A and B are shown apart, each in its own frame.
Chain A
Amino acid sequence: MNSALDAPLPPGDDPWAVLRAATRARVALGRTGDALPTARELEFRAAHAAARDAVHQPLDPALVRGRLPGVELLEVHSAAPDRATYLQRPDLGRQLAPGTVLPRAEADLAVVIADGLSPRAVHEHAAELTTALLDRLPGWTVAPFVLAHQARVALGDAVGEALGARAVVVLIGERPGLSSVDSLGVYLTWDPRPGRADSERNCVSNVRPPHGLSYAQAADTVAALLAAARELGASGVVLKDEGPALPAGTG
């Protein structure tokens, strides 16, 4: 700690650069009176606008289908009829819309691609990550993919049960931050059925190349988790994560 305090000022024309170089936080923005200068204010607004748009942009099935040619993709809706309800009623986002029918597949694995809080993350990363994951699962039977609107993670439990799958993997848009609007999360649940606790899932977060986890890194981890879950017949805290959930330096 002493070194942080005792080091001399570095050379250069702009001593404020010292602060900016030390952190990604918005330091040394300057002021006009007591307020932010116009340029800094607009930068902040742009970041917030991107995050807002990432939340509210509707999930576009055509965008996902276009990147998964020849793949059977079913569509379901949660019990939340619109975005405003979805945001206020997480309980409804965990249930299938009344009357939803899915074919029995009796497969090893169900894959649910869910909008979550960032449909943009799904548009940008879901197809590539799904492909990378299936490449690593030879010998696994996989149910038709399910694209889920207004969905929370636990909707995968209902989908997995309806399909008759032994495990479900949910790829879902994570809550956008100001500097990361397109992070995809992956949740794995063995023996899916409604009522599963979050502690019975495993999660790989921040799939977002090139800034976050790459598709290959994420798929390696999820495939390893799936193999271990099949071995153990369970997922969640009982299951040791065999690979790194986050690469060094993504924070």
Chain B
Amino acid sequence: MSARRGTIGGHTYEFPTLVELMAKATPARSGDVLAGCAAESAEERVAAQTLLADLPLTTFLDEQVVGYDEDDVTRLILDTHDRAAFAPVASLTVGEFRDRLLAWAAAGDEAAISALAPGLTPEMVAATSKLMRNADLVAVGRRTRVVTGLRSTLGLPGRLTSRLQPNHPTDDPLGVTASVVDGLLSGCGDAVIGINPATDSPARTVALLELADEVITRYGIPTQSCVLAHVTTTLRALEAGAPVDLVFQSVAGTQPANRGFGVTLDLLAEARAGALALGRGTVGSNVTYFETGQGSALSADAHRGVGGRPVDQQTLEARAYAVARQFAPLLVNTVVGFIGPEYLYDGKQVLRAGLEDHFCGKLLGLPMGVDVCYTNHAEVDGDDTDSLMLLLGAAGVTFLIAVPGADDVMLHYQSLSFSDVLTTRSVLGLRPAPEFEAWLARMDLLDDDGRVRELTADAPAARALLAAASG
């Protein structure tokens, strides 16, 4: 392969490999500066984007960003590539593909866009996203349909679901239950009741699984639970006969980064088989849940590609989706502002990354959600998360994560609140998952317009659920 050169503004820029071309075409973010792969000027970035636009999509089948022989994620991507699904766009360049997607999106041709997924590689999708503005990412994301299900159906048009995240610093059963009840009374939890355990102890994980199962069973809630323990811990919980709805794991876009997470593809397959065997679904059989986030490979010093060159964090993030889609997930979300300002510095970078991740995940066939969040040392606040949640709602995001009062008291960061989910639904005319919406109605938690009531504590539903939280 030879270096690619592009001239803009009288300067000629040279990009020795596809790795540099992808990195320098990436909209600005702190993580790529930290990795030493970001464009050094605004013009260099556009020069890279201009060259990228003229690359045939097939380039990514012949030329790797991370080597085939060195990395099992690359092997997974190329070995599972579906030529038939790729055929409708096989003759296009990256720029032409962007144009085609936007034309399909404007025409509302969801079938054409959504059928491409097995024929697209993460690198193709990442490259395309680098040529898109935020509104392009929204417009195409909105018309990419991915429907999954276990005990609720996710991803249907006009729906916005939520993960209820009831974390507690010591996994106290009453404390967790109080947050679960608060979220349910606020119309949240239709994607999953997903608890991050404070420790990775198998006994604690089993206890939390039983607690969530008890609430779901007792009130007949059409949703699923998940304790976000390491996959090896979930395997032990499965062996112990615990009520495991979903196998969770954080995944990343390179083999060394996944090794850093302590996971292999075989381990994920084994755990998925274990959960499938329990047959706990009613409307579907998607039994895995993955979290990702830009910067995870860099933070593990596992971000290098061909020739040892640093790969940009957005391309690596898209590669993580190839891992996730291998296991037919119910849910996938990027945790977009959690990792810190050295990866995404401010509200503009977090907003951009959230929309990119949603677009790339959806286009690759994932039921994509987002943890819209920030830490206190990033230049991000509630106004920024409001903007991202509303744009994601417009983009048809599968689910948003919500915690009581936007404050996760265990993981010490800020996410969205339950009321933020209600705001996004009402501003954009979105509704909960159909099964969960019917349950809310049965519990008399909806008013005549289908909105979640502002409860008084003596309402029957409130009394019933509050009983769960009294110790």
Q: Say if A and B assemble together.
A: yes
Instruction: Return the chain A residue nearest B299 by Cβ.
Output: A90
Instruction: Report which of A10, A26, A35, A177 forms a contact with B376, defined as CB distance below 8 A.
Output: A177
B interface footprint on A114-137 (CB within 8 Å = 1, 0 otherwise): 000100000000000000000000
A25 to B176, CA, bound (A): 9
Instruction: Report which of B179, B182, B376 forms a contact with A178, defined as CB distance below 8 A.
Output: B376
Determine whether B405 belongs to the interface, using a CB cutoff of 8 Å to chain A.
Answer: yes
Contact A34 B426 (CB under 8 A): yes
Contact A26 B407 (CB under 8 A): yes
Contact A15 B458 (CB under 8 A): yes
Q: A52-B376, A87-B377, A177-B376 are in contact. Are A18 and B469 (CB under 8 A)?
A: yes
Residues of A within 8 A of B409 (CB): 23-26, 179
Q: Pick the most buried of A52, A87, A117, A179: most chain B CB atoms within 10 A of its CB.
A: A87
A184 to B399, CA, bound (A): 36
Determine whether A62 belongs to the interface, using a CB cutoff of 8 Å to chain B.
Answer: no
A54 to B177, CA, bound (A): 32
Contact A251 B198 (CB under 8 A): yes
Contact A87 B34 (CB under 8 A): no
Determine whether A7 belongs to the interface, using a CB cutoff of 8 Å to chain B.
Answer: yes
Chain A residues bordering chain B, tally (CB within 8 A): 50
- Whole-angstrom distance between the Cβ of A31 and the nearest chain B Cβ: 5
Q: A35-B419, A51-B376 are in contact. Are A19 and B178 (CB under 8 A)?
A: yes
Contact A36 B419 (CB under 8 A): yes
Residues of B within 8 A of A18 (CB): 178, 466, 469-470
Contact B214 A2 (CB under 8 A): yes
A18 to B185, CA, bound (A): 14
Determine whether B467 belongs to the interface, using a CB cutoff of 8 Å to chain A.
Answer: yes
CB-contacts of A15-65 with B (<8 A): 15-16, 18-20, 22-31, 34-36, 40, 44-45, 47-48, 51-52, 54-55
A75 to B183, CA, bound (A): 49
A177 to B414, CA, bound (A): 9
Instruction: Return the chain B residue nearest A179 by Cβ.
Output: B409
A4 to B461, CA, bound (A): 17
The segment from B112-120, B129-137, B164-172, B350-358 found at the interface with A is B164-172
A47 to B467, CA, bound (A): 31
Q: A48-B414, A88-B341 are in contact. Are A22 and B469 (CB under 8 A)?
A: yes
Contact B215 A34 (CB under 8 A): no
Residues of A within 8 A of B467 (CB): 5, 7-9
Determine whether A230 belongs to the interface, using a CB cutoff of 8 Å to chain B.
Answer: no
Q: A7-B471, A15-B457 are in contact. Are A91 and B34 (CB under 8 A)?
A: yes
Determine whether A185 belongs to the interface, using a CB cutoff of 8 Å to chain B.
Answer: no
CB-contacts of A178-225 with B (<8 A): 178-180
A54 to B454, CA, bound (A): 36
Q: Pick the most buried of A7, A16, A23, A36: most chain B CB atoms within 10 A of its CB.
A: A23
Determine whether A176 belongs to the interface, using a CB cutoff of 8 Å to chain B.
Answer: yes
Q: A27-B405, A87-B342 are in contact. Are A175 and B377 (CB under 8 A)?
A: yes
Contact B342 A27 (CB under 8 A): no
Residues of B within 8 A of A34 (CB): 419, 422-423, 425-426, 451
Contact B469 A178 (CB under 8 A): no
- Whole-angstrom distance between the Cβ of B414 and the nearest chain A Cβ: 7
Contact B377 A23 (CB under 8 A): no
Instruction: Report which of A9, A23, A40 forms a contact with B463, defined as CB distance below 8 A.
Output: A9
Contact B406 A26 (CB under 8 A): yes
Instruction: Return the chain B residue nearest A27 by Cβ.
Output: B182
Contact B377 A15 (CB under 8 A): no
Contact B376 A9 (CB under 8 A): no
Contact A15 B33 (CB under 8 A): no
A178 to B415, CA, bound (A): 12
A interface footprint on B422-438 (CB within 8 Å = 1, 0 otherwise): 11011000000000000
Determine whether B403 belongs to the interface, using a CB cutoff of 8 Å to chain A.
Answer: yes
A47 to B381, CA, bound (A): 12
Determine whether A231 belongs to the interface, using a CB cutoff of 8 Å to chain B.
Answer: no
Determine whether B42 belongs to the interface, using a CB cutoff of 8 Å to chain A.
Answer: no
A29 to B34, CA, bound (A): 40
Determine whether A71 belongs to the interface, using a CB cutoff of 8 Å to chain B.
Answer: no
Determine whether B75 belongs to the interface, using a CB cutoff of 8 Å to chain A.
Answer: no
Contact B468 A4 (CB under 8 A): yes
Contact A40 B178 (CB under 8 A): no
Instruction: Report which of A7, A28, A88 forms a contact with B470, defined as CB distance below 8 A.
Output: A7
| 25 interchain pairs, CB-CB under 8 A | A1-B210, A4-B211, A5-B214, A5-B467, A8-B470, A9-B463, A10-B470, A14-B457, A19-B178, A19-B182, A20-B178, A22-B174, A22-B178, A24-B169, A25-B175, A25-B178, A26-B404, A26-B409, A27-B404, A27-B405, A44-B405, A51-B376, A87-B341, A87-B342, A178-B414
The list of the 3 closest CB pairs from A to B, nearest first, reads A26-B405, A251-B169, A23-B175
**A residues apposed to B, CB below 8 Å:** 1-5, 7-10, 14-16, 18-20, 22-31, 34-36, 40, 44-45, 47-48, 51-52, 54-55, 87-91, 117, 175-180, 251
**B residues apposed to A, CB below 8 Å:** 30, 33-34, 166-170, 172-179, 181-182, 186, 198, 207, 210-211, 214-215, 218, 341-342, 345, 375-378, 381-382, 403-407, 409-410, 412-414, 417, 419, 422-423, 425-426, 451, 454, 457-458, 462-463, 466-471
Q: A44-B405, A175-B376 are in contact. List 4 more A-B contacts (CB 8 A).
A: A4-B471, A18-B466, A25-B405, A251-B169
